[in-house]
Amino acid sequence: MFENFVIPDFLPAAPEMFLAIMAMTILMIDLFAKDARHSIAFWLAQLTLLGCAFIQVYTSTPGVVYTFSNTFVDDSLGDLLKIFVYLTMIVVFFYSRTYLSDRPDMNKGEYYVLALMATLGMLVMISANNFITVYVGLELLSLSLYALVAMNRDSVQATEAAMKYFVLGALASGLLLYGMSMIYGATGSLEITEIAQSFGAAEGNRTVLVFGLVFMVSGLAFKLGLVPFHMWIPDVYHGAPTPVTLLIGSAPKFAAFALIMRLLVSGLLPLAQDWQGMLVIMAVLSMAIGNLAAIAQSNIKRMLAYSAISHMGFMLLGIVTGVVSGDPRYALNAYSSAMFYVIAYVLMTLGAFGVILLMARAGFEAEELSDYKGLNKRSPWFAFIMLMVMFSMAGVPPFIGFFAKFSVLQAVVATGEIWLAVVAVIFSLIGAFYYLRVVKLMYFDKPETETPIEAGIHVRLLLSANGLAVAVLGIFPQVIMTLCAYALLTSF
């Protein structure tokens, strides 16, 4: 029975295995440790992520390595995105620490364990080379996030958000799974790299393939929060505890980007003419509805939720213009621009929610836009960091958001899709209004209280570094842009 069994190479999956073991270990230690502040769980979680990053760098190879019967792939794209996931989660934990410490009913070791399990789901999604692996990673991430959203059991708002997220998430997972089953039926393969090669033999089943593609794109669009599958984002961002909102809005974007690249670009490139049309419509609608709906918001978390929808629509433009009329010349420039945009967006999201979490204190959430009135008088430095983040999100030079938008627009114009670039610029200008409104509140309105903002030294340093990175990487974006291009070039 086992005579043909080949022992897989475990080294490419070493970070994932280390993370899984450590998550279980932290759960058991936190259960028996007499630690009311759960400091042990926090520091062990941080050491785990640093350990994963070290293992990732140590085990990385310049080539593409397949293991576990070709269900798992280790390449430069996966390595780079995973490093960004680890760094993002480290920052998320540091920003969340003070908020959770002020709320004993939420300050539990389970937060760190569930967040680490969500991270494991992201890592599996990034390295998935098989539909089953994709689904396992996706569900591990999703189930962890559902539990995190509902962590504050005394909050009706959080429970309602978790229920909406769970029901809609289950529906999206079903769509994705059904699409995968149709593609499997037409091509006879679950392996992503084999599916592209199977298209010649599956030409007679093109209708089935296109139907499967529609369902799969719908499932992916839900995970990215694209119109018309965006309904959950404002309610979940608003209802979830702020540290959980930060987690949902940051690191999973890397996994979603990897999933799009693996499924659509690597596996379903012969159907590019079909999925590009769908993505163009989603991108334009996401930019339109995201920016227009954000203007009407008085809650900053809901505003950032609609902002996320518009940003993901903008990022999609890079994916759309990768292959035009079967010509792959523009692919590397377009895909690396989209990848850079995701990195820039996550960096800006960390900065924005870092300031929100900094202002939140026991019994006060700092969720309303009016809470930011006169922030410059209470804390000039943190008001300046928020100003840099808002300017960057609006696409004002010289911040990273400007270069991210500029590189995507450059990729769109290079393919001759001028109308698409014009539409993107128009909606970016509309979106600038609600970002600049936050700046106006901070600098030109009177504060409701003169109380200075207190924060631990580690949060002050990290948030300052975050804000400065938004500025410095906008002036010197070449390092990350080169890394993105190299990772894509050596992986596809």
In this prediction, residues 194-220 reach a mean pLDDT of 79
CB-based contact 128:134 (threshold 8 Å): yes
**Which of 247, 177, 254 lies closest to 219, judged by CA?**
177
Average pLDDT, the chain: 88
Q: How far apart, in whole angstroms, are the C-alpha atoms of residue 455 and residue 147?
A: 28
Q: How far apart, in whole angstroms, are the C-alpha atoms of residue 465 and residue 487?
A: 25
**pLDDT score at 1:** 46
Q: How far apart, in whole angstroms, are the C-alpha atoms of residue 264 and residue 163?
A: 30
CB-based contact 244:301 (threshold 8 Å): no
**pLDDT score at 201:** 55
- Does the pLDDT value for residue 203 go beyond 80? no
Return phi, psi of residue 131, to 5°.
Answer: -55, -35
Q: How far apart, in whole angstroms, are the C-alpha atoms of residue 301 and residue 60?
A: 37
In this prediction, residues 83-105 reach a mean pLDDT of 90
Cis peptide bond upstream of 398, omega within 30: yes
pLDDT digits (tens, 9 = 90+) for 152-169: 888 888 899 999 999 999
Q: Confidence class of residue 50 from pLDDT cuts 50, 70 and 90? A: very high
**Which of 64, 91, 73 lies closest to 16, judged by CA?**
73
Report the amino acid identity of residue 61: T
Is 74 in a helix, a strand, or coil? strand
Cis peptide bond upstream of 241, omega within 30: no
Q: Confidence class of residue 4 from pLDDT cuts 50, 70 and 90? A: low
Q: How far apart, in whole angstroms, are the C-alpha atoms of residue 275 and residue 279?
A: 6
Q: How far apart, in whole angstroms, are the C-alpha atoms of residue 408 and residue 337?
A: 5
**Which of 364, 379, 346, 454 lies closest to 92, judged by CA?**
346
pTM: 0.94
Q: How far apart, in whole angstroms, are the C-alpha atoms of residue 437 and residue 135?
A: 41
Q: How far apart, in whole angstroms, are the C-alpha atoms of residue 73 and residue 267?
A: 13
What residues are paired with 130 via a beta bridge?
Answer: 191
In this prediction, residues 236-243 reach a mean pLDDT of 90
pLDDT digits (tens, 9 = 90+) for 300-354: 999 999 999 999 999 999 888 877 655 666 788 889 999 999 999 999 999 999 9
- Does the pLDDT value for residue 128 go beyond 50? yes
Q: What is the distance between the terminal CA atoms of the chain, rounded to a whole angstrom?
A: 36
pLDDT digits (tens, 9 = 90+) for 58-81: 988 888 888 888 889 999 999 999
